[in-house]
Amino acid sequence: MQIGALDGTDTTLGEAKHRLPKPKDIFTVKSDAVFVDIMRLFLENGLRQILVMDDNKQVLGIIARRDILKAYIDLEGQT
């Protein structure tokens, strides 16, 4: 949305690549990552989303900060 707002909605990704996250700015975890480690990544880096990758570096999905918060609330409700 930011690219469309700043560069126009007809802008291509190639034209706006200077606005895309750099590889060093992209955080990833494996599917067996420990809950507390994922929480720490979110908190220490001000992240909103983290890519979940398999051992072959294929994207399995995206975990959002709200997913972690919901899981935490659900866990707290079980105790």
Distance CA(67)–CA(48), nearest Å, equals 10
When divided into structural domains, the chain yields a total of 1
**pLDDT tens, position by position, 14-71:** 666 666 566 566 899 999 998 889 989 998 988 889 999 999 989 999 999 888 888 8
CATH of residue 30's domain is: 3.10.580.10
Query: Is 74 among the domain residues?
Result: yes
Is 3 contained in some domain? no
Please indicate, yes or no, if residue 12 is contained in any of the structural domains. Answer: no
* Assigned domain for 73 exists: yes
- 26 CB-near residues (< 8 Å, 6+ apart): 51
pTM over 0.85: no
Residue 64 lies in a domain: yes
Residue 41 forms part of a structural domain:
yes
Which structural domain range is residue 60 located in?
21-78
